[in-house]
Amino acid sequence: MRYFLDSHVKEDPRLLDVYVEAKRCYAEMDLCQHNFHHVIRDLYRALMIAASEEPVKYNILIPGVLLHDIGFSDPGFKTEGHDAVGAGIASKILRSFGFGEPTCHAVCHCVRSHKGKAELPETIEAKILYDADVLEKSGAVALIHGGKIICELGQTLDEYLRKEIEDRKREIDRGFYTAKAREIDNGSIAKLLDLLLEVQEETRRTRLDFVVSEDDLWLDKSAPSAFLSPVEGYVAGP
Ligand SMILES: [Fe+2]
Ligand SMILES: [Fe+2]
């Protein structure tokens, strides 16, 4: 079975406006992982899941998925979270295309709850978005996306592993909201958690060379910075 946007756009042409604006915004953000390709993957999964869930309001689900990671365009995401700041940005975009208050409110709930952190998904549209986004992290392929996240957020390998392991454990404990997402996952998120734990174990126990830093090469820890900006009176160590 294939899933298309055409009929939904025919029913509400403003969805195309949101699609084009979202595509423009993500292109401007130019991120390695949280870009329009990721949004398209989530949107496809959301349409797959929605086909098994009735009734679904597509004029809420589709903008919700399209705008769910728009919060990365605001530097405030580092402190407030991209889910929380993204809801405000999504609301402004929707209003500019003439969406009314109830729709804006429902889409904002989808964006705010897509991580299950700022709030938990309560509507079927928010639950589908949550599941579609969690499925991006299920299976071995997520390790490739992980490399892109490390680049995008400037994390160390250890920081990335600690955060991803914590997030995957929480998602596994919570479970998926929809039966279709559980079927698509088929245990793959647990498989990814095992792989992340294996990499963490490897880099902590046997392959320290993968996480070595510049400091590890110097007995005198002030040496590297002294070479970059020489300090008067600096004397090289033994
Ligand atoms: Fe996100
Ligand atoms: Fe996402």
Ligand nearest to the CA of 118: 1
pLDDT at residue 188 is higher than 80: yes
Cβ neighbors of 97 (< 8 A, separation 6 or more) are 14, 17, 18, 21
On whether the CB atoms of residues 96 and 27 are closer than 8 A, the answer is: no
Per residue in 83-94, pLDDT (tens digit) is: 999 999 999 999
Cα 35 to middle of ligand 2, angstroms: 9
- Note the pTM of the prediction, 2 decimals: 0.92
pLDDT at residue 238 is higher than 70: no
On whether the CB atoms of residues 90 and 22 are closer than 8 A, the answer is: no
Q: What percent of the chain has pLDDT over 70?
A: 95
- Sign of CA pseudo-dihedral 90, 92, 97, 98: positive
pLDDT at 58: 98
Cα 135 to middle of ligand 2, angstroms: 10
Cα 114 to middle of ligand 2, angstroms: 8
Ligand nearest to the CA of 87: 1
Average pLDDT over residues 128-155: 96
Cα 3 to middle of ligand 1, angstroms: 22
pLDDT at residue 164 is higher than 70: yes
pLDDT at 22: 98
Pick from 157, 149, 142: nearest CA to 210: 157
pLDDT at 1: 86
Cα 121 to middle of ligand 1, angstroms: 13
Average pLDDT over residues 135-145: 95
Per residue in 56-68, pLDDT (tens digit) is: 999 999 999 999 9
Per residue in 145-162, pLDDT (tens digit) is: 999 999 999 999 999 999
Cα 203 to middle of ligand 2, angstroms: 27
Protein residues with C-beta less than 5 angstroms from the ion ligand 2: 69, 133
pLDDT at 231: 53
| Token pair listed for 81 | 């979270």
Cα 207 to middle of ligand 2, angstroms: 31
Per residue in 26-49, pLDDT (tens digit) is: 999 999 999 999 999 999 999 999
pLDDT at 224: 75
Say if residue 155 is exposed, middle or buried (CB neighbours under 10 Å; 0-12, 13-18, 19+).
middle
Average pLDDT over residues 110-114: 98
pLDDT at 185: 98
pLDDT band at 196 (very low <50, low <70, confident <90, very high): very high
Per residue in 211-236, pLDDT (tens digit) is: 988 888 989 888 777 766 655 555 55
